[in-house]
Structure 1
Amino acid sequence: MEFQERANTVADNLFSYSKDQSGWKVCKKSNDVVVCWRPSTEFPGNVYKGEGVINACPEKVWECLKPEPNGIRVKWDSNVKKFELIEQVTEDIAVCRTVTPSAAMGIISPRDFVDVILVKQYEDGTITSNATHVEHPSCSPQAGYVRGLNHPCGCFCAPIPGEPGKTQVYAFFQTDLGGLLPRSVVDSFFPSSMTEFYNNLKKVVKSLK
């Protein structure tokens, strides 16, 4: 029950993030994506929001984004090295472990994250992933990885009214990477990483038949 409650709370939080336009500051912008940030209310760091349009229907985009072991995302998302199912709580809620590679020219060492993830679909056709960190008895910290903490984060694949072949993708990252990383490294990593995330997503969706 605890996992379900946490997952549902995260979904509420992310839905409010997607509707609340106040306080966001643009930190990176390209033709494909706008990345904004504002101070997090969850931890002493920032919450980052990415916005971009992908030329495909939400279901097709979701196939590339959905969190599942051996799914498409592990193959294209450069920040996901491994994705493991720890416990299937309900049909739509699971506890998973994500392993990330080293980044920022090795300054950021490999991390792992244990999250409860809720997949939720809204009446307007928006498909979402909603995640936050949890502790699980069968997944204690492992040697070789710094245990990071994801605060409410996830992705939204929203249909665009009148444009059935396009999807508005919102991505929210709110991550405590752990370790003694300089703030400047963290603040530069996320905007660049999110821009790459959208670029790679666009390429893989285009490659699907």
Structure 2
Amino acid sequence: MPMEYTEAAQAAAGKLLSYRKDEAGWRLCKRTGDVAVYWRPSTEFTGNVYKGEGLVAAKPEDVWECLKPEPGGLRVKWDSNVEDFQLLETVTDDITICRTVTPSAAMGIISPRDFVDVVMIKRYEDGSITSNATNVEHPSCPPQRHFVRGFNHPCGCTCAPVPGEPEKTQVLSFFQTDLSGYLPKSVVESFFPYSMTQFYNNLSKAVKSLNV
């Protein structure tokens, strides 16, 4: 099983790298200040893949401190879409299996969800730090009462240095989530662009409070 998890994580990292490099087909759906959210049809499932681009006024390592997926980390404190984050298994030093619990959203139309993912942390030669995730099954965490089990297809975040701007970080985020359940398509398609712009606003505030 660890080999299957490793292969799934590596495949997700490859997908995210291709999303970063491939500029074709992205359509702007929301722009707020320095943040832009794009979408295009997913090749993984019947929904969309969303790409967020934004600048955060801090060094990549400081931004990563707020973003990195770890139990008891800062992400649960500032990210309004993360209610709880649990470590289910450590596969290698940079690959883990995690469960993420999300609260209800869209004025209660979207009920609480949980997601089980393999997550890989990867650093690239250009100085960027990435989290790469995709859904897996884990024996310790079958679907649970009170939560709709959702499925993340290759998704994650990248903190990349901005050339000539050491105190700035480009944050790229990719969300490609099957929320499952019986949700109107219009609700899903309005939820992601809105929640992603909130994600950047809350991240910027969290990073700022780190440096106060």
TM-score normalized by the length of structure 1: 0.99
Query: In the alignment, what sits opposite 1:30?
Result: 32
Query: In the alignment, what sits opposite 1:45?
Result: 47
Counterpart Cα distance in 1 of 2:137 and 2:150:
12
Query: In the alignment, what sits opposite 1:145?
Result: 147
What is the root-mean-square deviation of aligned Cα atoms in Å?
0.4
Counterpart Cα distance in 2 of 1:83 and 1:35:
25
Counterpart Cα distance in 1 of 2:36 and 2:25:
15
For the Cα contact (< 8 Å) 1:32–1:198, is it kept in 2?
A: no
Counterpart Cα distance in 2 of 1:124 and 1:196:
28
Structure 2, gaps ≥5 residues long: none
Output the amino acid matched with 2:204.
K
Counterpart Cα distance in 1 of 2:179 and 2:32:
25
Name the SS for the 1:50 alignment partner.
strand
Counterpart Cα distance in 2 of 1:46 and 1:176:
9
Counterpart Cα distance in 1 of 2:54 and 2:45:
26
Matches within 5 A, 1:180-199: 180-199=182-201
Report the Cα offset of residue 97 of structure 1: 0.1
Query: In the alignment, what sits opposite 1:74?
Result: 76
Output the amino acid matched with 1:39.
P
Report the Cα offset of residue 162 of structure 1: 0.9
Counterpart Cα distance in 2 of 1:32 and 1:82:
28
Instruction: Give the alignment partner of residue 165 of structure 1, picking from 161, 167, 172.
Output: 167
Counterpart Cα distance in 1 of 2:96 and 2:34:
31
Establish whether residue 179 from structure 1 lines up as the match of residue 174 from structure 2: no
Report the Cα offset of residue 51 of structure 1: 0.1
Counterpart Cα distance in 1 of 2:115 and 2:34:
28
Query: In the alignment, what sits opposite 2:14?
Result: 12
Output the amino acid matched with 2:93.
E
Counterpart Cα distance in 2 of 1:85 and 1:182:
32
Counterpart Cα distance in 2 of 1:166 and 1:138:
40
Report the Cα offset of residue 30 of structure 1: 1.1
Query: In the alignment, what sits opposite 1:121?
Result: 123
How many positions carry a matched residue from both structures?
209
Name the SS for the 1:193 alignment partner.
helix
Report the Cα offset of residue 130 of structure 1: 0.1
Deviations 1:108-154 (A, max 9, x none): 00000000000000011100000000000110000000000000000
Counterpart Cα distance in 1 of 2:140 and 2:161:
38
Counterpart Cα distance in 2 of 1:101 and 1:134:
21
Name the SS for the 1:89 alignment partner.
strand
Counterpart Cα distance in 2 of 1:136 and 1:64:
26
Name the SS for the 2:191 alignment partner.
helix
